Chains A and B, each alone.
Chain A
Amino acid sequence: MKRITKITAFFILLAAMQLSFSGCSDYFDVVSEDKVTADNNYTKEIDAIAAINGLYGLMQDLVDPLWVVGESRGELTLPARGADKYQFDMAMNQANADNPYTDYAPFYRLINGCNGAIEGLTRLQDINQDYSEDVMKVDVAEVMAIRAWAYYKVAQIWNNAPYFTRFISSVDKIDSIPAVSGDTIIARAAADMAYARSLTTANYANRGQFNYYSMSYFLAEMYLWLGKNIEARDAIISFVPSTPGWELRMEKYYQKYWVDQFSPTRLNTTAQYSWMQYIRFDANRQQKHNILRWTNNRGDGIYAFKPTKVAIEHWNVQPQMSADLYGYYTNDNDYIAIPTGQTGDIWRGNYRSYLIDGKDTLIYKYLINSNLGTDDRKESYKNDMDFCIVRDAHYCLLLAEINNRLGKTQEALRFVNGKAWPGAQPAGYGIRPRVRLMPVMLSAYTTEKVDSVIADERALELAYEGNRWFDLVRMAKTTNNPALLADRIASKYAPSQREAIRTRLMNSQNWYLPKHK
Chain B
Amino acid sequence: MRLIIILMCLFSSLCLVQGGNKAASDSVKVNGKVVDLFTGKPIADVSISLRGIRSQTIQTDKTGAFSLVAPSAYVTVVASFPGYQTKEFPLFGSRQINIKLAKEGLNVGESLLSLPYSSLYEQNVNGSLAFATQSQEKIGEKRGLQQMISGTISGLQATAFSGVPDEGANLNVRGQNSLFMKTTPLIVVDGFPIDNTVYEKSIINGNIYNYLSDLNVKDVESVVVLKDAAATAIYGTQGANGVILVKTSSGTSGKTYLDVDIQTTLGEKFKDIPMLSGDEYRANFQDLLYKQGNTDAEIAQSYPFLYNNASAGAAYWRYANNTNWQDEIKRNSFSTDYHLSLRGGDGTSKYLFSVGYKNQEGEITGVDVQRFNARFNLDFRMMKRLSVGTRIYYSKTDKNLADQGPVTENNPFYLSLMKPSLLSVHGKSDLGEDLPGYEAGAYDNLNNPLALLSEADNQIANNWLLGNVFINLDIAKGLSTKLNMGLDWRNMDENRFLPSKGRVIDSNGFYRSSEQQLLKSNQMWVEHTVSYTGDFAFVHHFDALLGYNVKVQNSKRDYGYSVNAPSDDFRGLESGTKISVDGEKNSVTWFSMFANGNYSLMNKYFLNGGVRFDGSSLFSQAQNAGMQIFSYPFAAAPYVGATWKIKGEPFLRNVSFINDCKLRASLGASVNQQIDPYQTQTYYQSKYYYNIPGLVIQGISNKDLKWETTRKLNIGGDIALFNNAIRLTADYFVHNTKDMLLPTQIDGITGFTSAWVNGGEMQNKGLELALNHVGQSGAFTWNLGANITFAKNKITALPGSADIITDYYGYKSLARVGQPAGLFYGYKSLGVFSTQAEADAANLTGDKNQRFMAGDFHYDEVVKDNRIDQNDMQVIGDPNPDFFGGFSAGISYKNFDLESQFAYSYGGEVMNVLRSKLEVASGYENQSVAVRSAWRADGDVTSVPRTNFGDPMNNGRASSNWVEDASYLKLRTLTLAYNFNKKVAFVRNARIYLTGCNLFTLTKYIGLDPEFSTGVSPFSRGYDFGLMPQSRAWMVGIKLGL
Contacts and interface: CB of A to CB of B under 8 A. Distances in A.
B550 A22 contact: yes
Interface string A154-191: 00000000101000111110100100000000000000
8 contacts: A28-B620, A29-B617, A32-B585, A38-B683, A53-B692, A104-B748, A169-B682, A170-B700
Interface in A244-294: 280-282, 284-287
Interface string A306-340: 00000000000000000000000000000000000
B1029 to A, nearest CB: 32
A34 interface: yes
A172 B700 CA distance: 10
Interface of A: 3-4, 7-8, 11, 14-15, 18-19, 21-23, 25, 27-38, 41, 47, 49-58, 60, 79, 81, 83, 85, 88, 98, 103-106, 108-113, 116, 162, 164, 168-172, 174, 177, 208, 280-282, 284-287, 299-300, 379-381, 516
B383 A285 contact: no
B475 A31 contact: no
B696 A103 contact: no
B751 A169 contact: no
A34 B697 contact: no
B749 A177 contact: yes
B139 to A, nearest CB: 36
Contact of A30 (B617, B690, B695, B703): B617
B504 to A, nearest CB: 12
B697 A112 contact: yes
Given A35-B698, A38-B683, A105-B751, A60 B689 contact: yes
Contacts of A49: 692, 694
Nearest to A36: B684
B579 interface: yes
Given A35-B685, A47-B695, A104-B748, 16 more contacts: A4-B383, A4-B386, A8-B475, A18-B548, A53-B694, A54-B697, A105-B748, A109-B697, A112-B751, A113-B697, A170-B702, A171-B755, A174-B746, A282-B688, A287-B690, A299-B507
B386 A7 contact: yes
B683 A28 contact: no
A31 B697 contact: no
Given A56-B694, A108-B748, A170-B682, A11 B481 contact: yes
B508 A171 contact: no
A392 B403 CA distance: 51
A379 B586 CA distance: 36
Interface stretch (B102-110, B423-431, B587-595): B587-595
Given A25-B631, A108-B749, A36 B695 contact: yes
B689 A280 contact: yes
A280 B528 contact: no
Given A41-B684, A172-B702, A112 B696 contact: no
Given A30-B588, A109-B697, A381-B579, A168 B749 contact: yes
A379 B578 contact: no
A164 B749 contact: yes
Contacts of A27: 589, 591, 617
A22 B591 CA distance: 7
Contact of A380 (B508, B550, B683, B755): B508
Nearest to B680: A170
Nearest to A517: B745
B812 to A, nearest CB: 13
Contact of B848 (A8, A58, A88, A104): A88
B753 interface: yes
Contacts of B386: 4, 7
A500 to B, nearest CB: 14
A81 B954 CA distance: 13
A110 B751 contact: yes
Nearest to B385: A4
B580 A286 contact: yes
A287 B509 contact: no
Contacts of B685: 34-36
A55 B694 contact: yes
A29 to B, nearest CB: 6
B483 interface: yes
Nearest to B481: A11
A83 B849 CA distance: 13
Interface residues on B, range: 35 or more
Contacts of B700: 168-171
Contacts of A170: 682, 700-703
B526 A32 contact: no
Nearest to B624: A172
B613 to A, nearest CB: 12
Contacts of A281: 690
A242 to B, nearest CB: 34
B662 to A, nearest CB: 37
A105 B550 contact: no
Contact of A105 (B687, B688, B752, B950): B752
Contact of A28 (B383, B617, B703, B752): B617
B181 interface: no
Contacts of B691: 282, 285
B695 A112 contact: no
Contact of B585 (A34, A285, A299): A34
Contacts of B695: 36, 41, 47, 50-51, 53-54
A53 B684 contact: no
A38 B681 contact: yes
B683 A54 contact: no
A79 B589 contact: no
A128 to B, nearest CB: 16
Interface string B621-653: 100000000111000000000000000000000
Contacts of B465: none
B750 interface: yes
A381 B509 contact: yes
A219 to B, nearest CB: 23
A459 B383 CA distance: 92
A388 to B, nearest CB: 15
A90 to B, nearest CB: 12
A37 B748 contact: no
Most buried by B among A25, A31, A35, A116: A35
Nearest to A384: B690
Contact of A29 (B481, B507, B548, B620): B620
A51 B692 CA distance: 11
B678 A171 contact: no
Contacts of B579: 284, 381
Contact of B688 (A14, A113, A285): A285
B473 interface: yes
Nearest to A515: B748
Interface in B5-43: none
Nearest to B578: A284
A79 B587 CA distance: 46
A112 B510 CA distance: 39
A319 B385 CA distance: 104
A171 B690 contact: no
A300 B507 contact: yes
Q: Among the interface residues A53, A54, A169, which one has the most CB atoms of the partner chain B within 10 A?
A: A54
Given A299-B507, A381-B510, A172 B704 contact: yes
Given A57-B694, A105-B751, A282-B691, A11 B701 contact: no
A69 to B, nearest CB: 14
A418 B864 CA distance: 56
Interface string B688-725: 11111111111011111000000000000000000000
A35 B684 contact: yes
Contacts of B950: 81
Contacts of A88: 847-848
B569 interface: no
Contact of B630 (A23, A56, A285, A300): A23
B615 interface: yes
Given A54-B696, A56-B694, A177-B749, A38 B509 contact: no
A123 to B, nearest CB: 14
Interface in B584-626: 584-589, 591, 615-617, 620-621
